[in-house]
Amino acid sequence: MKAGFSVFLFLCTLIGQAQIDVQHYRFEIELNDQSDGIVGKALVTIKFLSDASEVRLDLVSQEDEDGMTAYQVLEQRQRLVSSHKDNVLLFQLTKPAKKGEERTFEIDYMGKPKDGLIISRNQYGDRTFFADNWPNRAHNWIPCNDNPADKASVEFVVTAPSQYKVISNGLLVEEKAIDANRKRTYWKEDTPISTKVMVIGAARFAVTRVDSGYRVPVTAWVYPQDSAKGAYDYALADDILGYMEKYVAPYPYKKLANVQSKTIFGGMENANTIFYAENTVTGNRSSEALLAHEIAHQWFGNTATEKSFTHLWLSEGFATYFTSLYMEQKYGEDSFQKRLQDDRRQVIQFVRTFNHPVVDSTTDYMDLLNANSYQKGSWVLHMLRRTIGDEGFRKSIKAYYNQYKGSNADTRDFQRVVEETTGAKLDTFFRQWLYQPGVPKLDVRWRQQPNKAIELNVLQQSKVLYQLPLEIGIVYKDGSKEVQRVNISKAAESFQVPVKDMPAKVILDPNTNLLFDGKISEL
């Protein structure tokens, strides 16, 4: 009986395969200069969330030249029956696990990483090793539960040729020569973090401490050829860290290393060990916004983390907006508005051809690195701040962070915290900005009326109607200005707006408070 047999198999799988919560990883990794192969030993401590007779971890399997081979899995020195294919490492437990139990497994493996650990040459031709795990590329080189919702503490013990310095998450425990040519470097991160932000880097580095001494050690790890420029450029990190601490909460880690690297991204926010693209070192601090973005991620993304990449804006939108806020306090309101205007232009351009909402369940995670997650996410926070006020916004951000630090949240969790903190009802706001695609498209016409008023006719041309406050800037002939506000919700609406005198000009959204596409003209 085919159908019944399938159901039986399905049930077995359900009972057998574990729901797991990894508590701790210890990775011992050997790097060398003779080949791009690595040798790894992983100790993975798993808490079972259900009874189980087998465990499944992610590890890219070997295909042609590249990928990993897990050649044995052990529990308390006993070899377990395991299989490693189709990027899944599956092993059978000799003694089934009970829900709530914690057990540690050893996985011995080797191979040439297909991705995730980039072994190449830097801009000076020097050999370098840089992990680059986002979004789920960690399992190219470490066996893990490669999911942002499963956080664990981690140790990296890296054996590498002696000429390299090795950086990783957490604090340095030991750096020791093991023979004439090799050394072992041991880093330990006690705070649970997602695999996407676990990292190692090995290269010739010049390391400079760049902090003011008030907070955790902040360092610049740059190529020796760039040591002076890099120390100068990355020293900005200390001030940014101070800004974020003041706005949000104390920095959640024990150090902040800023590393010049070969990440495929402009920057990658690896927990307390940020990797920046190698061209970010210029000697003229041209990457300040990038530093602010990656440092903001230490709170948003790394500590309060999205439950899944569907809610990536909780990471990228926050990092983008906090960059603008940092730039606002440092360079003033004009630079803040200019950033928002640039972001708005990018969103308008992007949504013309991309019909997904910000909360996007696509499984092509690289596709999520787009203007929805970053610039529109940032704009949502900006409009939220304008809706609930500066103080309500600040309190909500702190409350959200404090509630979800060390764990994971989704968009509804964030909405609930803001509503509880401020008393505001935000269903419409969240629905229209985050769960439906696009931006409002407005066509506004105005004409002078008798009795010191103008008539304002507003057409919403987007497919769905928005409810929003629209600010109108009225500029008089003597150069004076005022701002009036109308609340729009219909496809076509008309308003009488009082004015002091015949306006010389009427402009939309003079203070850059609304994400919209549109124009105003005189009738």
Check if the beta carbon of residue 433 is closer than 8 Å to that of residue 377: no
Residue 51 has which token pair? Answer: 């009874």
| Single-letter amino acid, residue 244 | M
| Single-letter amino acid, residue 501 | D
Q: Quick one: 378 or 415, whose CB is closer to Zn ion?
A: 378
- CB of 196 vs Zn ion, minimal distance in Å: 11
* Interface with Zn ion in residues 69-128 (CB under 5 A): none
Q: Quick one: 163 or 362, whose CB is closer to Zn ion?
A: 362
Q: Quick one: 400 or 516, whose CB is closer to Zn ion?
A: 400
- CB of 319 vs Zn ion, minimal distance in Å: 4
Task: Please return the burial class of 214, using the count of CB atoms within 10 Å of its CB with bins 0-12, 13-18 and 19+.
Answer: exposed
Check if the beta carbon of residue 301 is closer than 8 Å to that of residue 294: no
Q: Quick one: 365 or 476, whose CB is closer to Zn ion?
A: 365
- CB of 330 vs Zn ion, minimal distance in Å: 19
CA distance 295 to 300: 9
- CB of 317 vs Zn ion, minimal distance in Å: 9
Q: Quick one: 39 or 289, whose CB is closer to Zn ion?
A: 289
Using DSSP, state whether 347 is helix, strand or coil: helix
Q: Is 197 in the site for Zn ion (CB under 5 A)?
A: no
Q: Are strands 408-409 and 305-306 parallel, antiparallel or unpaired?
A: parallel
Q: Quick one: 159 or 373, whose CB is closer to Zn ion?
A: 373
Q: Quick one: 378 or 396, whose CB is closer to Zn ion?
A: 378
* Interface with Zn ion in residues 426-465 (CB under 5 A): none
CA distance 221 to 201: 10
- CB of 368 vs Zn ion, minimal distance in Å: 11
Q: Quick one: 171 or 289, whose CB is closer to Zn ion?
A: 289
- CB of 13 vs Zn ion, minimal distance in Å: 37
Query: How wide is the angle at C-alpha 113 spanned by C-alphas 107 and 117, nearest 5°?
Result: 100
Q: What is the CA radius of gyration of the chain?
A: 27
- CB of 301 vs Zn ion, minimal distance in Å: 7
Listed as own residue / partner, the contacts of 358-362 with beta carbons closer than 8 Å and 24 or more positions apart are 358/313, 358/317, 358/433, 358/434, 358/435, 359/310, 359/311, 359/313, 359/411, 359/434, 359/435, 360/310, 360/312, 361/310
- CB of 380 vs Zn ion, minimal distance in Å: 16
Q: Quick one: 144 or 290, whose CB is closer to Zn ion?
A: 290
Q: Fill in the per-residue mask, 293 to 322: x = in contact with Zn ion (CB under 5 A), - = not in contact.
A: -----------------------x--x---
How many residues belong to the site for Zn ion (CB under 5 A)? Answer: 2
Check if the beta carbon of residue 158 is closer than 8 Å to that of residue 168: yes
**Quick one: how many helices (H) and strands (E) in the chain?**
9, 29
Q: Which residue is nearest to Zn ion (CB)?
A: 319
- CB of 192 vs Zn ion, minimal distance in Å: 20
Q: Quick one: 320 or 396, whose CB is closer to Zn ion?
A: 320
Name the E strands within 132-217: 152-161, 165-168, 171-177, 182-193, 200-203, 206-209
Q: Is 240 in the site for Zn ion (CB under 5 A)?
A: no
Torsional class of 190: left (φ above 0), alpha (ψ -120 to 50), beta (otherwise) = alpha
Q: Which residues pair with 182 in a beta bridge?
A: 161
Q: Is 268 in the site for Zn ion (CB under 5 A)?
A: no
Q: Fill in the per-residue mask, 269 to 288: x = in contact with Zn ion (CB under 5 A), - = not in contact.
A: --------------------
Task: Please return the burial class of 375, using the count of CB atoms within 10 Å of its CB with bins 0-12, 13-18 and 19+.
Answer: buried
- CB of 350 vs Zn ion, minimal distance in Å: 16
Using DSSP, state whether 447 is helix, strand or coil: strand
List of residues contacting Zn ion (CB under 5 A): 316, 319
